Amino acid sequence: MSATEFTGWGAFDKNCVKDGSFKKFTYKPKGWDETDVDIKILYCGVCASDLHTASGGWNPNQDYPQVVGHEIVGIAVKVGSEVTHIKEGDLVGVGAQNDSCLECGQCKNNRESYCDKGQVGTYDGKYYREGNGKGDKSYGGYADMHRAPSHFVVKIPDGLDPAIAAPMLCGGVTVYSPLVQYGAGTTAKDVGIIGIGGLGHFGLIFAKALGANVTAISHSESKKADAEKMGATNFIATHGDDNKWATENRRTLDLIIATTNDAKMPLLDYATLLKPGGHLVFVGAPEEPLPQFPTFPLIMSNIHLTGSAIGSPKIIKEMLELAAKQDIKGWIIKRPLDDVNQVVQDMHASKARYRYVLVNEKNGGKL
Amino acid sequence: MSATEFTGWGAFDKNCVKDGSFKKFTYKPKGWDETDVDIKILYCGVCASDLHTASGGWNPNQDYPQVVGHEIVGIAVKVGSEVTHIKEGDLVGVGAQNDSCLECGQCKNNRESYCDKGQVGTYDGKYYREGNGKGDKSYGGYADMHRAPSHFVVKIPDGLDPAIAAPMLCGGVTVYSPLVQYGAGTTAKDVGIIGIGGLGHFGLIFAKALGANVTAISHSESKKADAEKMGATNFIATHGDDNKWATENRRTLDLIIATTNDAKMPLLDYATLLKPGGHLVFVGAPEEPLPQFPTFPLIMSNIHLTGSAIGSPKIIKEMLELAAKQDIKGWIIKRPLDDVNQVVQDMHASKARYRYVLVNEKNGGKL
């Protein structure tokens, strides 16, 4: 049924994004363990992390070739004998995390992304648990097939469009997880989302779905109409030389999710927007350190600077169920997998409004 | 009974700490309101803030003369007709905050130090609420008398030595408040205290009292024996060029209270000590911004950088009751108020082990 060799679009050097030079090739997936699931890929979202990794932007010492893509939805075509929650033929998904130790306090508490031994990424990772896959490299979803440890494979709930589900598996849960952790709609009624891109648009959509009053915070007004359609009832544009926007909106937000990758962000002004006790959560990772920050605003307003990494399988499941129940849809643009070279270039040029999803038509994905 | 003029030791210029040139003078307290209490001062702790303010270290544009001191314990000798919780003759205390709006969400939620309109310091403040004191300047506790709005006057519980209580009113509650807020001894079992000085020693003592496992974190081993007597069962010395101490103690603490004023602190290494989800709380305020910090550790460990400002009258009351019940004592050295010039110089020279308390013998304070 599933081959011992998979076929995918590989990144072979750091110019692959700029030049659009991903190449089709075959490779061996991780060694099969009876806790694994093989997935015939229908859809795979295109995440900014894919580009950072393929181009070596986060880490120049890449172990090429890489098969990126970690918003995978497909059919479980081979299910290990020790897997209980997935059966052959199920529609399933895998996000950005493929494995972890499953034994530490974090893993046991549904916080696998903070595993004491580290998470194994769905691509660019190395499996370390005992088994046939130990030491093998992970390959992602710009491909026909994906093999994943079943702990990180979730069922896609009935009624949820699988192409819509795909980009939620990383982009969606990356914002959904901190929204829930910090009480969006309950203890945190007033929520701000910085940046309206792949992550930010999910931030607006899910914050609204959770019952919060949503403020979109963006450099310019260019995405204001979109942001309002996504659920924002307030909009703050931060362009211009003064920080009037910050003083005018001082202490209005309980929670801010920062999806920006801009290391030159006006951090102190963002902090001004928080009510005392509030949280500013980074989910985007600028390649440079944050601007210098004095302790006084932290002390005098008891505000919290923190960050959040993706989300556990449990949280992914909850998010997908909410999406199915409320008919929540990200704004996606479907593109054929075989056009991947044009797609990554368009993504790099910030053309996505707001998430590209690669469609594997050969496997039955629908454009 | 109480005079309309008070006598205190004034800071008249920025050299007063270095030179030991505080001078006795008389001044008018805030205009009397029927919500006020006049306190005949018995004891006043010496806080690092006193020195920062008197010398203009935090703000060079000082409105001299200043009467500093905000760890005041004494006898209520005049009590406004609208005051219900204090009566004449009560042993009472006032900490670092003297007033706030008392109307905003923060004030109404026992978070007066984060008041939307700002806190009025016990010294170097300006009263802004309607009343006879509006626009008047606040004068602190290096004096014979202190006048304070009663909301910020707490009763000292029976059985607690008033000289022991004094430095708890700022130094104590500054660490006690975040210890309680972040669950020391309950959700945060493993607590670290950075810096073993006036604040830090209270951190060790109260973290222990709250049932936490306590780790003292200090530059050198010089205070190790003291820290152990205060309740630390672990000790981390951070001197040396490597950061082995950080990697060896990675993810061991749920909560860290940073009392250091050193802007060059090894912030990233401190963060390494935190378990995922943990909090690093600044209570010391370096005059320079923090070291630059990347977002990756925040994201990959979901740790929180925050700060905390003193504590509400409600929290002060709880702390004093705990201290009375458990017979908790800070390590204090009593000094005569009239020796204030030598005392501030000794404090500046970091000789305090660990808190000086000025004694007003004329008013009945006991050396």
Q: Kindly list the structural domains of chain B, giving each domain's residue range(s) and its CATH number in brackets, ordered by start.
A: 6-170+311-363 (3.90.180.10), 172-307 (3.40.50.720)
pLDDT for B1 equals 43
- Using CB atoms, pick whichever of B279, B285, B302 lies closest to residue A299: B285
pLDDT for A167 equals 98
Interface test with B, best of A59, A302, A308, A312 (most B CBs within 10 A): A302
The CA-based angle B63-B65-B68, given to 5 degrees, is 95
pLDDT for A29 equals 98
Which residues pair with residue A214 across a beta bridge? A191
- Using CB atoms, pick whichever of A291, A302, A308 lies closest to residue B307: A302
AA identity, residue B336: P
Residues of A with CB under 8 A from a CB of B: 105-106, 111, 114, 116, 251, 275-277, 279, 282-286, 288-309
Q: How far is CA B63 from the centre of its chain?
A: 22
- The candidate with the shortest Cα–Cα distance to A152, out of A320, A40, A316, is A316
Residues of A in Cβ contact (< 8 Å) with B116: 251
Spell out the per-residue pLDDT of chain A, length 367, in tens.
445 899 999 999 999 999 999 999 999 999 999 999 999 999 999 999 999 999 998 788 889 999 999 999 999 999 999 999 999 999 999 999 999 999 999 999 999 999 999 999 999 999 999 999 999 999 999 999 999 999 999 999 999 999 999 999 999 999 999 999 999 999 999 999 999 999 999 999 999 999 999 999 999 999 999 999 999 999 999 987 688 999 999 999 999 999 998 888 999 999 999 999 999 999 987 778 888 888 889 999 999 999 999 999 999 999 999 999 999 999 999 999 999 999 999 999 999 999 999 999 999 999 9
DSSP assignments along B235-291, one per residue:
EEE--SSS-HHHHHTTT-EEEEEE----TT--HHHHHHTEEEEEEEEE-S--SSPPP
Q: Is the separation of the CB atoms in B65 and B165 below 8 Å?
A: no
* DSSP at B65: S
| Residue labelled with tokens 């951070």 | B238
User: CA-CA distance, B97 to B101, in Å (whole number)?
Assistant: 12
pLDDT for B112 equals 98
Whether this model's ipTM surpasses 0.85 comes out as yes
Q: Across chain A, which distance is largest between two alpha carbons, in Å?
A: 62
Nearest CA in chain A to B250: A116
Residues of A in Cβ contact (< 8 Å) with B291: 292
Nearest CA in chain B to A261: B295
- The enclosing H or E element of A70 equals none
Whether a cis peptide bond, with omega within 30° of 0, leads into A354 is: yes
User: CA-CA distance, B286 to A292, in Å (whole number)?
Assistant: 13
Cα dihedral angle (B250, B251, B253, B257), rounded to 10 degrees?
70
- The candidate with the shortest Cα–Cα distance to B365, out of B336, B343, B338, is B336
User: CA-CA distance, B311 to B321, in Å (whole number)?
Assistant: 15
- The enclosing H or E element of B232 equals none
* Shortest Cα–Cα distance, A199 to chain B (Å): 15
- Residues contacting A47, CB < 8 A, separation 6+: A69, A70, A71, A96, A167, A170, A171, A198
pLDDT for A2 equals 46
Q: Is A56 left (phi over 0), alpha (psi -120 to 50) or beta?
A: left
3-state secondary structure of B120: strand
- Residues contacting B317, CB < 8 A, separation 6+: B154, B155
User: CA-CA distance, B240 to B242, in Å (whole number)?
Assistant: 6
Tokens for B203?
């951190």
Contact A304 B305 (CB under 8 A): yes
Crossing angle of helices B171-181 and B198-209, rounded to 10°: 40
Interface test with B, best of A58, A101, A111, A114 (most B CBs within 10 A): A114
Q: Is the separation of the CB atoms in B44 and B358 below 8 Å?
A: yes
Residues of B in Cβ contact (< 8 Å) with A188: none
Q: Is the separation of the CB atoms in B235 and B209 below 8 Å?
A: no
pLDDT for A364 equals 98
User: CA-CA distance, B201 to A336, in Å (whole number)?
Assistant: 64
pLDDT for A1 equals 43
Q: How far is CA A237 from the centre of its chain?
A: 25
pLDDT for A292 equals 83
Residues of B in Cβ contact (< 8 Å) with A116: 251
Which residues pair with residue B149 across a beta bridge? B36
User: CA-CA distance, A104 to A111, in Å (whole number)?
Assistant: 10
* Shortest Cα–Cα distance, A292 to chain B (Å): 5
Tokens for A81?
């004998």
User: CA-CA distance, B151 to B35, in Å (whole number)?
Assistant: 8
- Using CB atoms, pick whichever of A276, A292, A296 lies closest to residue B106: A276
- The candidate with the shortest Cα–Cα distance to B137, out of B94, B99, B106, is B99
Q: Is the separation of the CB atoms in B133 and B127 below 8 Å?
A: yes
User: CA-CA distance, A230 to A232, in Å (whole number)?
Assistant: 6
- Going from the C-alpha of A167 to that of each of A30, A199, A332, B246, the distances in angstroms are 24, 9, 8, 37
Nearest CA in chain B to A268: B289
Taking the alpha carbons at both ends of chain B, their separation in whole angstroms is 25
Contact B286 A295 (CB under 8 A): yes
* DSSP at B116: T
User: CA-CA distance, A173 to A175, in Å (whole number)?
Assistant: 5
Spell out the per-residue pLDDT of chain B, length 367, in tens.
445 899 999 999 999 999 999 999 999 999 999 999 999 999 999 999 999 999 998 888 889 999 999 999 999 999 999 999 999 999 999 999 999 999 999 999 999 999 999 999 999 999 999 999 999 999 999 999 999 999 999 999 999 999 999 999 999 999 999 999 999 999 999 999 999 999 999 999 999 999 999 999 999 999 999 999 999 999 999 987 688 999 999 999 999 999 998 888 999 999 999 999 999 999 987 778 888 888 889 999 999 999 999 999 999 999 999 999 999 999 999 999 999 999 999 999 999 999 999 999 999 999 9
Contact B285 A296 (CB under 8 A): yes
- Residue A291 has phi, psi (to 5 degrees) of -60, 150
* Shortest Cα–Cα distance, A283 to chain B (Å): 6
pLDDT for A243 equals 86
Which residues pair with residue A27 across a beta bridge? A6
- Using CB atoms, pick whichever of A285, A298, A299 lies closest to residue B296: A285
pLDDT for A40 equals 98
Nearest CA in chain B to A286: B295
Contact B282 A298 (CB under 8 A): yes
AA identity, residue A181: Q
Residues of A in Cβ contact (< 8 Å) with B297: 307
